[in-house]
Structures are given as C-alpha cells and as structure tokens.
Amino acid sequence: RLWKTIETRIDKAGVPCELYTESDLVLRTIRDQLGPEITKIVVDSEPAYERVTAFLSVVAPRSAPPVVLYERPTPLFHAYRVEPQITELLQREVPLKSGGALVIDQTEALVAIDVNSGRSRSAKDAETNAYSTNCEAIDEIARQLRLRDLGGVVVLDLIDMRLQKQRREIRDRL
C-alpha cells in the first residue's frame, strides 16, 4: 500500500518533491513493537493520542489495543518506571531471576554475550542447573538484543552442557 502511494505521488508531483517521510518516533515505535503482548498504549499528549488512534485505525483496526491519554500530574515515565528500565538497558551486566547473569560486551566487530550461573543453583546436579540457566539466558538474550537493537555478529558463551539433547533444545530455543 505504501509503495502504491509513493508511485502515485511520483506520477502527480512536480520536481523536486518529497515522496515519502518516515513516521515520527511515536508511530515508528508502535509500528515496530506492536504485537499481541501489547495490551494498551499510554500517551501523555493530545496530539500524540490523535496520531496514534488514527494510525491504529488504519494499521490494525480490529486488533489494536486501547489507547489511553495519560493526564495525571506525575510524569508518565515516573509513573510507569521507564527511566530505571532505560538505565538497566545501559548496564553491561543483566541479572537473571535464577541468580545468574548475562554479561554483554559490544565492540565494532561483534556483540559478545557471556552467561554466568553465578549463585544460580536451582537444581541439585550441575548439568540440570546449566540447562535451566541457559534456557532462562536464551530468553533474556533475545529480549536484550531486541531492546538494545543489537545485531550483526553475536557470539554467545553459554554454560557448557554435556548432553547433546539439551544442546539441541537450547539451539532450537534460540
């Protein structure tokens, strides 16, 4: 649909002319992040509210989550604890719920992510513990790659596992 709109502008517009302008940050974020896990969208300005509702009525008229206009005196980022989450994204070490941690190092050439079990001892034997920590780590690694917008060559140093079956499961989970 977008391409057809651009083609129409090419045919009708004089030279020089603007054929396409990328959406603003709010709409780009919604476009890139909208999925079934998003249950509502909260905005804190009337113009943004209007743009978002208009955008969703075109992009996802039946499946769009409700859009809420936030009008309380407490700033939106404080109310939803956004700033601490942004601070977490800038940290090199990402704690895992089990007590382990990811260590994320980004260089010009690649992104290296090391998985440490730390004090994670959720199982009695080391092999089961390594498997469960790696499962948790893979899920968090995928999340961190999306949130930090990391790509290119990504090297993962997971906890060593002896069982081939568990290695395949971890690979498939990734």
Domain ranges of the chain: 16-79, 89-173
DSSP code at position 164: H
Mean pLDDT of 72-81: 95
What percent of the chain is modeled with pLDDT above 90? Answer: 67
Predicted local confidence at residue 48, as pLDDT: 96
Predicted local confidence at residue 123, as pLDDT: 55
Cα 141 from Cα 35, distance rounded (Å): 19
DSSP E strand boundaries for the chain: 41-43, 67-69, 93-95, 101-106, 111-116, 154-157
122 pLDDT exceeds 60?
A: no
Binned at pLDDT 50, 70 and 90, residue 91 comes out as: very high
Q: Does residue 86 contact residue 129 with C-beta atoms inside 8 Å?
A: no
Give the pair of three-digit tokens for residue 44.
């804190």
Contact residues for 121 (Cβ-Cβ < 8 A; gap 6+): 99, 129
Judged by DSSP in three states, 45 sits in coil
Mean pLDDT of 66-92: 93
